Structure 1
Amino acid sequence: MGLGRIFRSSLVLVATMFTQPAAAQLLQTREAALAQDAGEYARLYGVAQDEALRRLRVQHESVAATDAIARRYRDRLAGISVQHRPDYRYIVYLTGDDPVAEMHLRFGDASIPLVFRTGARSSRDRVVWAITYHQAAIRAALPSPPSMGLDPRTGELVVIVGNAIAAADGGAAALDARLEKLTGVPVQVRVLERTDVNLGLHGGGRLDGISPDDGKRYRCTTGFAVTDGARSGITTAAHCLDEMTYYDPQRRPTPLIFVGQWGWGYHDVQIHAGAAPERPLIYSDTARMIERPVELQRARPSTRAGDFVCHRGESSGYSCAEVELLDFAPAGDLCGGACLPTWVTVAGPNCRGGDSGGPVFSGTTAFGVVKGASYRRDGSCAFYFYMSLDYLPAPWSLLLDAAPARAGR
């Protein structure tokens, strides 16, 4: 079976603009983009809008500081996470018992605690190595391949299985012990009746194409504008059709030229070329009436558990939630075989079939493109997972907005 046929079993919808903004649409400033996301933060955590905005500013401005901490303590580092309740702070989890004094990160008038906790049983590097090296053995040891990843809050290898698998192995505790013996790192078995899938077939989107396999019309989601230095392109999921037409909010068509798809192991991205965008913009509201520029890119190693990120898909619209697992490998064979532990998960409940390929962002900073989701038995979204833009295929890179800088991020 060809790569295109493997991935066409699950198609998605448009979330990003590829043409010049229409006059009726609102183009956000950097500050307005962050304020929109802060509104979601305030609603979810029950804080005032100005406090939510302050915390999101700190989230962006603290990356260099936590990157430096990660480098300094790399041999001991189990993970770095963001705590939102009861107060806002950063937690650094280290192996060993040697204590490290609490620090405070200062950004303007904000002083944010950075607390070190010791006693982790394994470093992040060891857990990621264990996932990579033992993935085949873990899959073979269970009736169906589980998903797995690193939880930076605990420094554990998280293995997600269904009730039947846990019960057959004597319960989660017994399975924990067996997998710890196999991998040599601490394991946390999470029992969740779910299915990991590439986000699936759905109508009502803005990228249309006719499948040569069954003659049916399918629709997909775009992610971010990219360039190879000579051409401009737009990303979507690798499991979209090769021949696609983009439709703007006024339903004006723009035929796109298929460039290529990359969908093995750590990739799920496809690039189409077309008329160059006036500016690299993404839609940041459900109705596709608000656009924001893309000004920065967040690297996967700089992403922390608890980072507050947003995504926009045609099915679920605009929503925001916390990053949960890093170095995640989805269950099954969603990557042309087993997936490598390079994906990042974000908490539900807002993901639905039709969102795959859409952009993940915070303010005007781009994080990645949605690949798929894990659904509970009742059909609700447990979490979605995305491909970091670190893995755009060479020579393609993210197009960043070159307009004059605006206040905030």
Structure 2
Amino acid sequence: MLKRVAAALAAFLMVSAGAAAAQVQTRAQALAQDAGEYARLYGVAQDEALRRLHAQADSIPVTDAIADQYRARLAGISIQHRPDYRIIVYLTGSEAVPERRIRAGGMTVPVTFRTGAKASRERVVWAITYHQAAIRAALPSPPSMGLDPRTGELVVIAGNVVTAQEGGAGALDAKLSALTGVPVQVRVMDRIDRNLGLHGGSRVDGIDPANGKRYRCTTGFPVRDATRSGITTAAHCLDDMTYYAPDRSTLPLSFVGQWGWGYHDVQIFAGAAPERPLIYSDTARTVERPVERQVSRPSTRAGDFICHRGESSGYSCAEVELVDFAPAGDLCGGACLPTWVAVAGPTCKGGDSGGPVFSGTTAYGIVKGASYRKDGSCAFYFYMSLDYLPAGWSLVTEPALVPPRPNLPHTR
């Protein structure tokens, strides 16, 4: 039995004979695939798209340093894609900061500083955390909320019912601004937030003993603690799951544990250590790419162009919308903390839960859920940063394991 479990998890981590037929990309090939999506979405040449994705990665240390330098004034940092590619830094106060130009990805990237924000990022995130219950109580149903780093506002995403209230969304802006002490923008969207269903980088599924129905999820990233290796998926997936290889062969999995409250939605299955940390990066599961590093949530910016793969929706890429995001409802064992990252649609479906979020060979997080419009289309999805892997577990990278990250507080 132990040998069977070890063999199963080796396959689950995509190093088995069942996965051997897939093409393993180089770093350059992985970025070229994502650049193809960027070029299609923004109408630029492939080589320009590739330069911009290199610039996105290379500019992270610069924006991290800017965030530290202007922490007391920082309202947000975002990436602009149109009409040109540049970094926008939004600050409180009126003291101007001259534009900078940096070299990143083989191109010159302007860094533009805007002033006049009414509240710092730290104040807005604190307001979300402290006033979340009161904001929820002020609306007919619990909204999602987050900081928009482009405007410095606390964004409350509510259903159409608010337009029927006295004064509509504008009056609610003023009411919630007075309540929280920070600028608030109510965005009306007829949508439903929910976890992305139990459906499957690769497919896993199982039967819920409570109702006898079969559900699927998506596998995420290889991880390791001091003694074990494993693979992630979402905590709201079933505990008893079976792995489905691309050739439709099946293997049972060994459950380790799940963490699913407040700022967590992650489950781990353990087994034999992978020879290489690989994830599927195409819809058909014929292409794999190595995992070489991870980007933390503090280093993630609105406008970053990232991709995900879900068993139901396949491979797609889009922009980060909100970095300090609290999903609506009680999807986190109660109200969610503003520690999630929201990414623009239109591609997400039930069954994508647990899937990997990445750019090139860099890991970002694990898909949790999505917000759907009334017609069923995907407005945006949201993921858990790998910063919040359970204590003692860390991402497996190539060629070596990333040192374990310290436990992080619920909010930054």
Smaller-chain TM-score range? Answer: over 0.9
Report the counterpart of residue 27 of structure 2 in structure 1: 30
Is this contact kept in 1: 2:55–2:106, CA < 8 A? no
Question: In 2, distance between residues paired with 1:157 and 1:216?
Answer: 40
Question: In 1, distance between residues paired with 2:104 and 2:323?
Answer: 26
Report the counterpart of residue 91 of structure 2 in structure 1: 94
- Deviation at 1:24? 2.4
Alignment of 1:141-220 (within 5 A): 141-202=138-199, 206-220=203-217
Question: In 2, distance between residues paired with 1:107 and 1:228?
Answer: 34
Return the match for 1:53 from 47, 50, 54: 50
Alignment of 1:2-41 (within 5 A): 17=14, 19=16, 22-41=19-38
Of residues 173-182 and 194-203 in structure 1, the stretch that sits farther from structure 2 once superposed is: 194-203
Q: Residue 120 in 1 paired to residue 97 in 2?
A: no
Deviations 1:140-178 (A, max 9, x none): 111111100000101100001111123214211100000
- Deviation at 1:244? 1.2
Amino acid at match of 2:196: L
Amino acid at match of 1:292: R
Report the counterpart of residue 6 of structure 2 in structure 1: none
Q: Residue 263 in 1 paired to residue 260 in 2?
A: yes
Question: In 2, distance between residues paired with 1:59 and 1:179?
Answer: 35
- Cα pair distance change 1:276/1:21, threshold 3 Å: farther
Question: In 2, distance between residues paired with 1:127 and 1:331?
Answer: 17
Higher relative contact order (CA 8 A, sep 6+): 1
Find the residue that maps to 2:119 and give its secondary structure.
coil
Instruction: Report the TM-score when normalising by structure 2.
Output: 0.92
List gaps (5 residues or longer) in structure 1. Answer: 1-14, 404-409
Size of the alignment, in residue pairs? 389
- Deviation at 1:138? 0.6
- Deviation at 1:213? 1.3
List gaps (5 residues or longer) in structure 2. Answer: 1-11, 401-412
- Cα pair distance change 1:316/1:226, threshold 3 Å: same
Question: In 2, distance between residues paired with 1:193 and 1:102?
Answer: 39
Report the counterpart of residue 282 of structure 1 in structure 2: 279
Is this contact kept in 2: 1:163–1:192, CA < 8 A? yes
Alignment RMSD, CA only?
A: 1.6
Find the residue that maps to 2:324 and give its secondary structure.
strand
Alignment of 1:365-376 (within 5 A): 365-376=362-373
Report the counterpart of residue 84 of structure 1 in structure 2: 81
Amino acid at match of 1:397: S
Question: In 2, distance between residues paired with 1:92 and 1:251?
Answer: 48
Instruction: Report the TM-score when normalising by structure 1.
Output: 0.92
Report the counterpart of residue 395 of structure 1 in structure 2: 392
- Cα pair distance change 1:108/1:228, threshold 3 Å: closer
Of residues 109-118 and 383-392 in structure 1, the stretch that sits farther from structure 2 once superposed is: 109-118
Report the counterpart of residue 11 of structure 1 in structure 2: none
Question: In 2, distance between residues paired with 1:320 and 1:289?
Answer: 18
Is this contact kept in 1: 2:75–2:117, CA < 8 A? yes
Percent of counterpart pairs with the same letter? 77
Amino acid at match of 2:381: Y
- Deviation at 1:375? 0.3
Amino acid at match of 2:314: G
Find the residue that maps to 1:390 and give its secondary structure.
helix
Question: In 2, distance between residues paired with 1:232 and 1:252?
Answer: 22
Report the counterpart of residue 4 of structure 1 in structure 2: none
- Deviation at 1:314? 1.2
Is this contact kept in 1: 2:52–2:105, CA < 8 A? no
- Deviation at 1:245? 1.6
Amino acid at match of 1:124: R
Is this contact kept in 2: 1:315–1:355, CA < 8 A? yes
- Deviation at 1:243? 1.2
Of residues 191-200 and 240-249 in structure 1, the stretch that sits farther from structure 2 once superposed is: 240-249
Report the counterpart of residue 359 of structure 1 in structure 2: 356
Is this contact kept in 2: 1:315–1:354, CA < 8 A? yes
- Cα pair distance change 1:244/1:137, threshold 3 Å: same
- Cα pair distance change 1:248/1:151, threshold 3 Å: same
Amino acid at match of 2:294: Q
Deviations 1:27-50 (A, max 9, x none): 000010000000000000000000
- Deviation at 1:230? 1.1
Find the residue that maps to 2:221 and give its secondary structure.
strand
- Deviation at 1:70? 0.3
